[in-house]
Amino acid sequence: MSAVARANFDWNALGSLRLRASALADGLYVGGHRSVRRGVGVEFGGHRNYVPGDDLRWLDRHALARHGRALIREFETETDRMLRLVIDATGSMGFRSAQAPVCKLDYALTLAGALARLALNSGDPISLDWFAGENARWLPAMSGRESFERLLGVLGEARAAGDASFDSARLERSLATVGRYARRGAIIVMFSDLVDLEPRVFERIAALGSRGRTVLVVEVLDPEERHFPFSGAVRLRTVEGQHVVETDADLVRERYLAALDAQADNLARKLEERGGRLIRCTTSDSPVGVLRSLVTAALGERL
Amino acid sequence: MSFVTAAALAISLLIALPFAAHLLRRGRRSERPFPPARLVPAHDAVARQKSRLEDRGLLALRALIIVTLALLGAVPLVRCDRPLLARSQGASVALALVLDDSASMNVKAGKVTRFEQSVEDARALVGQLRPGDRMALVLAGRPARVQVGMTSSRAILLDSLAKLSASDRGTDLEGALGLAESLLAGLPQRDKRIALASDLAAPFAPPRSPFWLLRPEHAVAKSDCGLLFAQARRGGVTVELACNAEAAAAGRKLSARATQGGPARTTLPLPTRRGRFELSLPTDDVGGLTVVTLDGSDENATNDTLALSTLTRGRPIWTLTHPTDGQSVLGGPPLLEQALLALDPSVELHPLAVLPTDARELQTASLLLLDDPPALGAEQRLALAHWLEQGGALLALLGERAVTHQLGQGLAPLLEGAAHYEATDVADANSANSAKVAPSSFAWLGPEALRLADLRPRHRWSFELGLRQAGEQRGTYLDGTPLYYERIVGKGWLAVVGLPAAPSESELALTPGFLALLQRAIEASRSRSPDPVITAGSAWTFGANPPSEAIGPAGRVALEPGPHGVRAVAARVGPYRFQRASGSEARFASLDAAEVLEAPRPVPPEARATQSGPAPRLALTSPLIGLLLLLLGLERAYVLARGPLLARFWAFMPWVRSRRTHAI
């Protein structure tokens, strides 16, 4: 998250927002919030690579002795209410028009950070996944006060880079990884401009909503992308790929906006079929309002 | 066009600037990043819109302003292509336009001939006439003549100009200028001018009135070889031609052809020389040959083709003069011959030592001039009488030698009554025997008769005239003694002057009246036995049996009444045919060699003005300045009307360029 995003975010405006467990979630309740422990008696959920900071209690010493690799054993606890943040850091997310206060990635990072803080305050674990990006480091599920600072450190280093239009397979692999590790009852929040994504990627995103997971997609657009304020003859070039189009802005504005809405409607329909939601915003919108919409969407669907 | 003028006009090339500005502005429309560009549909019309000129009206207006600026810059440097009749303080103008319609004006000056260009100039001048202006049109082709007298009617002038056609006449510039001056004399306008449209290829003296050469560029010599006359004879074709430069003759050939454009039947290389010369094209069969051509080219192609004639040029004038008395004190030919050559340089003279005694010997003579002849013998008198009866023309200037002292000699048929030679009182002008000429008795001779009043002859012939000689012309002394008389003898014409040409006796031969008398004799002889071949510009006179119709190279020829009969002027070179009661008669008009050989005279500095009168250049450029200002104002108004005023204001600010501005 950039310093600008930090400075501009009004945390007080969030009020008493809390991410609460779904009524349908199976698990134990400890106090007013769900437990974050991966305790005894839970179902084995698989292995993953060790990253610094992991609890050594879950280190699979047998695997270390046998294969020489540090692996962490993970268990699915039915009390888990994990927040998995998936951020699109492809090149198009770095776009910022003259009228926009920040670029799309910075806006998405702000929202992600704020959402993570809400989750951590509620005692829910968070994790972080990326689509492309530069210095975009993956973070495993974690909780605790220090997790927020760790998250901010990772968010602050990320830069928009990469071309989704040329490497949709990589994107699909990332989504598959998210789907594999997201447990039942987890909330998956994806921040993306949905630009240059193929239709089958939308299917993959919507498919994350299976197994009791909630998928929320935040479409972050620049105001220029949302309103197409050009006039006369224009020559436009994509950020990802080298697609160039010459057109008359006045004549094609309606058709562009219709195509943009159709794309969003397509994804929204797919998400809603699996209990998910699509939230559309622009970088000129108030992050607080978007965050309210996010929390409302997450809770409204499951309560 | 000078370099400076061309440079000024080259400013108009800046018309490309608006186009360049358009292209530059088009180039500034660079790509802009737009991540969802794949969702933006392309529009086909955009490419066309890019290449299309934006704002065509503005572009045209700017181009027009640039062109106007270029013209404005060049106007002070460009000579006006049309003559400009400027006025001094707006006063009325009396203008005598001398238009040279001689053969040398047929040289091409661009796409048209000099003559056609001059006619156009004349039309332009007529178009500038205002109420109160007067204009006359004088033609300088030989003989000089007044085409239109002083008039203020544009219609008459334009109608007369429309009827003008090119001719092959010689040039009489001095006579034309004299006529122009006489036309201007007595007019009330203070601003009197002579406009001269000529190549100046003839001697002339600058007139007293201000004169203005319309096109000084016409007074430039053009290398030229011209055919003067071509005659088919037994054994070949004789061609007279003239070249004014050796370069004009170099590499050219003379050919005789059956038809113009047909194959040459006989050819002869042209000698590289200048001047007038004669060549013979040898051929055994001249039958069917109709045209002679000068192959190759020079700067005047109009005289490189000439119809072939079968007529013989010229009929000589026979003269009989005293070998010493008729000469001037400076020597040279006798005064009589000098006067004849002055009237017509191409005249063929046949001097006689004694008068023939047989009329057949005089058959080839058209005119016989006797200066101080001796008294005639019986055979000579009979021969002359017979020749006169047959149509001869004779002018006798009687002097002391005509006094007879021998039996059987006399002055018949010159004088039929009593006559005697007497001395006059030269010292006392008031004496009864002072022999002063009465000018009024020579009024029929024209203004040239005025100087005859100054004659003071030492001796004179006094003779009686019979009353039966009706219709004759006479001239007398103040005391009534006849000095001159003429009469018709059969078909012939006889004139007698009671004074010789010798300057020792009187100044008769030095007066204009003497030339007028000789001209009268020449015309009288031509009317009786006209020369079948004359130079263009001359006229055939038919005293008896006038033709009913005349056809020339340019069509029908007008037949005009003259003092000695019907006249037909040969304006163009070539064959003529006259239909007379006795049958069809062929004549031929040749080209005057002077039209080829005479070089243009230097243009007097005072005649070089680019326009007549004071030069109101501002009057010419002021409308352009006004037009320019109007266009600039329109352009500004147009630009401001095209968009919001504020946007136009920011567009003027060079540091505010972030947004595309339409026009500045």
* Res A25 pLDDT > 50: no
* Res A267 pLDDT > 80: yes
Which of 45-84 (B) contact A at CB < 8 A? Answer: 45-47, 49-50
pLDDT digits (tens, 9 = 90+) for B79-107: 556 677 777 666 788 999 999 999 999 88
* Res B53 pLDDT > 70: no
Q: Is A134 exposed, middle or buried (0-12, 13-18, 19+ CB in 10 A)?
A: middle
Instruction: Read off the pLDDT band of B24 (50, 70, 90).
Output: low
CB pair distance less than 8 Å for B40 and A244: no
Residue type at position A256: Y
B35 closest CB neighbour out of A195, A252, A255: A195
Residue-level pLDDT at B394: 92
CB pair distance less than 8 Å for B43 and A95: no
Average pLDDT over residues A76-96: 81
Contacts 24+ apart (CB under 8 A), B628-634: B628/B65, B628/B68, B628/B69, B628/B72, B631/B61, B631/B64, B631/B65, B631/B68, B632/B65, B634/B61
pLDDT digits (tens, 9 = 90+) for A158-199: 888 888 766 677 778 888 888 888 877 788 999 999 888 888
- B153 vs B3, more confident: B153
Residue type at position A165: S
- B330 vs B293, more confident: B293
CA–CA separation, B264 and B589 (whole Å): 24
Q: Is the dihedral of CA B369, B372, B374, B377 positive or negative?
A: positive
* Res B567 pLDDT > 90: no
A133: alpha, beta or left? (left if phi > 0; alpha if psi -120 to 50): left
Least confident window among B192-201, B240-249, B601-610: B601-610
Residue-level pLDDT at B328: 54
pLDDT digits (tens, 9 = 90+) for B123-180: 988 988 888 899 999 999 988 999 999 999 999 999 999 999 889 999 999 899 999 9
CA B127 from centre of chain: 23
Residue type at position B550: A
Average pLDDT over residues B293-315: 84
Partner A contacted by B353 (CB < 8 A): no
Partner A contacted by B37 (CB < 8 A): yes
Least confident window among A284-288, B50-54, B136-140, B281-285: B50-54
* Res A71 pLDDT > 80: yes
Query: Of the candidates A37, A19, A23, A15, which has an alpha carbon nearest to the alpha carbon of residue A188?
Result: A19
Share of chain B above pLDDT 90, in %: 18
Taking the model in full, what pTM does it have? 0.47
Residue-level pLDDT at B364: 75
* Res B49 pLDDT > 70: no
Query: Of the candidates A214, A224, A205, which has an alpha carbon nearest to the alpha carbon of residue A264?
Result: A205
* Res A274 pLDDT > 80: yes
How many C-alpha atoms does B456 have within 13 Å on its Cβ side?
8
Residue-level pLDDT at B12: 65
Q: With a cut of 0.90, is the ipTM above it?
A: no
Query: Of the candidates B286, B295, B296, which has an alpha carbon nearest to the alpha carbon of residue B265?
Result: B286
Residue of A nearest to B33 (CA): A237
Size of interface A-B (CB pairs under 8 A): 89
Average pLDDT over residues B542-558: 86
Query: Of the candidates B55, B65, B125, B132, which has an alpha carbon nearest to the alpha carbon of residue B93?
Result: B132
Instruction: Read off the pLDDT band of B637 (50, 70, 90).
Output: low
pLDDT digits (tens, 9 = 90+) for A101-120: 889 998 998 888 888 888 88
φ, ψ at B572 (rounded to 5°): -115, 155
Residue-level pLDDT at B100: 93
Residue of B nearest to A251 (CA): B43
Least confident window among B325-339, B454-468, B555-569: B325-339
Residue-level pLDDT at A23: 27
Residue-level pLDDT at B429: 61
Residue-level pLDDT at B75: 59
Chain A residues touching B29 at Cβ < 8 A: 233-235
Instruction: Read off the pLDDT band of B340 (50, 70, 90).
Output: confident
Partner A contacted by B28 (CB < 8 A): no
Residue-level pLDDT at B266: 86
CB pair distance less than 8 Å for B29 and A240: no
Residue-level pLDDT at B157: 93
Chain A residues touching B662 at Cβ < 8 A: none
pLDDT digits (tens, 9 = 90+) for A35-61: 444 444 456 767 888 888 888 888 899
Instruction: Read off the pLDDT band of B46 (50, 70, 90).
Output: low
Instruction: Read off the pLDDT band of B560 (50, 70, 90).
Output: confident
CB pair distance less than 8 Å for A245 and B33: no
DSSP letter, residue B451: G
Average pLDDT over residues B298-323: 83
Average pLDDT over residues B220-242: 87
CB pair distance less than 8 Å for A238 and B35: yes
Instruction: Read off the pLDDT band of B116 (50, 70, 90).
Output: very high
Chain A residues touching B39 at Cβ < 8 A: 256, 259-260, 263
Residue-level pLDDT at B176: 92
> Which residues of A make CB contacts under 8 Å with B?
92, 95, 193, 195-196, 222, 224-225, 228, 232-241, 243-248, 251-252, 255-256, 259-260, 263
Average pLDDT over residues B614-632: 53
Share of chain A above pLDDT 90, in %: 23
A225 closest CB neighbour out of B35, B45, B50: B35
Instruction: Read off the pLDDT band of B609 (50, 70, 90).
Output: low
Query: Of the candidates B508, B507, B416, B428, which has an alpha carbon nearest to the alpha carbon of residue B463?
Result: B416
Which of 522-581 (B) contact A at CB < 8 A? Answer: none
Query: Of the candidates A291, A267, A287, which has an alpha carbon nearest to the alpha carbon of residue A277?
Result: A267
Give the tokens for residue B375: 């008294």
* Res B596 pLDDT > 60: yes
CB pair distance less than 8 Å for B36 and A225: yes
* Res B350 pLDDT > 90: no
Instruction: Read off the pLDDT band of B646 (50, 70, 90).
Output: very low
Average pLDDT over residues B470-494: 81
Give the tokens for residue B279: 């060549």
Share of chain B above pLDDT 70, in %: 78
- B355 vs B90, more confident: B355
Least confident window among A208-212, B299-303, B456-460, B567-571: A208-212
Average pLDDT over residues B56-81: 66
Residue of A nearest to B41 (CA): A252
Query: Of the candidates B181, B289, B305, which has an alpha carbon nearest to the alpha carbon of residue B235?
Result: B289
CB pair distance less than 8 Å for B34 and A243: no
A243 closest CB neighbour out of B29, B30, B37: B37
Chain A residues touching B50 at Cβ < 8 A: 233, 246
3-state secondary structure of B3: helix
pLDDT digits (tens, 9 = 90+) for A245-264: 888 888 899 999 999 999 99
Determine contact, residues B630/B620, Cβ cutoff 8 Å. no
Average pLDDT over residues B626-631: 66
Least confident window among A188-197, B56-65, B304-313: B56-65
Give the tokens for residue B67: 């062109």
Residue-level pLDDT at B132: 87
Residue-level pLDDT at B88: 66
CA–CA separation, B361 and B387 (whole Å): 9
Q: Which of B39, B49, B52, B658 to mutate to test the interface with A (most CBs of A within 10 A)?
A: B39
Residue-level pLDDT at A227: 92
Instruction: Read off the pLDDT band of B358 (50, 70, 90).
Output: confident
φ, ψ at A176 (rounded to 5°): -65, -40
pLDDT digits (tens, 9 = 90+) for B367-412: 999 998 988 888 999 999 998 888 889 999 998 888 876 777 888 8
